[in-house]
Amino acid sequence: MKILIMGAGKMGSFFADVLSFEHEVAMFDKDPARLRFTFNTLRFSKLEEIKEFEPELLINAVTVKYTIEAYKEVIPYLPERCIISDIASVKTGLPEFYKDAGRPFVSTHPMFGPTFANLSDLSTQNTIIISESDHLGKVFFKDLYSKLHLNIFEYTFQEHDETIAYSLSIPFASTLVFASVMKHQDAPGTTFKKHMNIARGLLSEDDYLLTEILFNPHTPQQLEDIQKQLSILQKMVEEKDTSGMIKYLNAIRGKLK
């Protein structure tokens, strides 16, 4: 299959590496310098090259802020039969776009990133395939993700956004709060160092990606829940409520089982 990947970032490069040994893969990025280390893949920086390539599948891996904008720019250069796909972590606006585009599409979300995941063993990682996607597109990505040993879940667009608000917004917000009150430690403990590594990894991600995930319409409720739990914890600490703290810790341990 002829596959075009838009965006030579971390995930675009990951998909190129994975797919290039079984498919004819091309990568498009407006900045030719970002294509320097692309391996076993055609490198395009002009839209006219896409038209000549005639891809059968497009994987849109640009920064989440520009997903729809990139689609609008490239679609006129794609064959009518080309399936368009995204791997965006935020699906806001995409259901409406796909409906208006009138093209076969597939939307997925690999729930891991090159920053934290062990890309040589993804068996503990998850991925979501949007159920409203076209059948052939879903078949392709189910086969790909199965070969990568990912755990595959099929959600609607709505279910996806609700899941992301819970599974990403909460840890992202918690990590940002930790980093915002952090002070330099000459002799940090193990827990502090682990949190530091997570914070550094998170803040190495694209600013627009972090922003869009936190701007998920379901995030405010999750932040309210965090604030509620912080208030409960603060009250127990201020009152030195030992019995209350023990009950609180045991309740949390129950959630972790």
pLDDT digits (tens, 9 = 90+) for 225-244: 999 999 999 999 999 999 99
Q: Which two tokens stand for residue 130?
A: 């949007």
Give the DSSP letter string of 39-106: -SSEEE-SHHHHHHH--SEEEE-S-GGGHHHHHHHHGGGS-TTPEEEE--S--TTHHHHHHHHTS-EE
Q: At 117, is the pLDDT very low, low, confident or very high (cuts 50, 70, 90)?
A: low
Q: How many CB atoms lie within 10 A of CB 253?
A: 9
- Which of 209 and 137 is assigned the larger pLDDT? 137
Evaluate if residue 70 carries a pLDDT over 90.
Answer: yes
Which range among 120-129, 164-173, 246-255 shows the weakest confidence by mean pLDDT? 164-173
Are β-strands 126-130 and 42-44 bridged in parallel, bridged antiparallel, or unpaired?
unpaired
Instruction: Identify the pLDDT of residue 31.
Output: 93
Cα separation, 195 vs 52, whole angstroms = 48
Cα separation, 80 vs 66, whole angstroms = 22
pTM above 0.75, yes or no: yes
Instruction: Identify the pLDDT of residue 222.
Output: 87
What are the Cα distances from residue 69, in Å, to 29, 58, 177, 214?
A: 14, 14, 32, 20
Cα separation, 133 vs 168, whole angstroms = 23
pLDDT per position as a tens digit, 130-185: 999 999 999 999 999 999 999 999 999 999 988 888 888 889 999 999 999 988 88
CA angle 188, 191, 194 (to 5 degrees): 90
Q: How many CB atoms lie within 10 A of CB 132?
A: 17
- Which of 3 and 255 is assigned the larger pLDDT? 3
pLDDT per position as a tens digit, 5-26: 999 998 999 999 999 999 999 9
Give the best-scoring range by mean pLDDT among 89-93, 156-160, 212-216: 156-160
Q: Which of 39, 204, 190, 31 is nearest to 115 (CA)?
A: 204
Are β-strands 2-6 and 57-60 bridged in parallel, bridged antiparallel, or unpaired?
parallel
Q: Which two tokens stand for residue 12?
A: 């675009």
Rama region for 121: left / alpha / beta (φ>0; ψ in -120 to 50; rest): beta
Cα separation, 83 vs 74, whole angstroms = 13
Assign 130 to helix, strand or coil: strand
Assign 211 to helix, strand or coil: helix
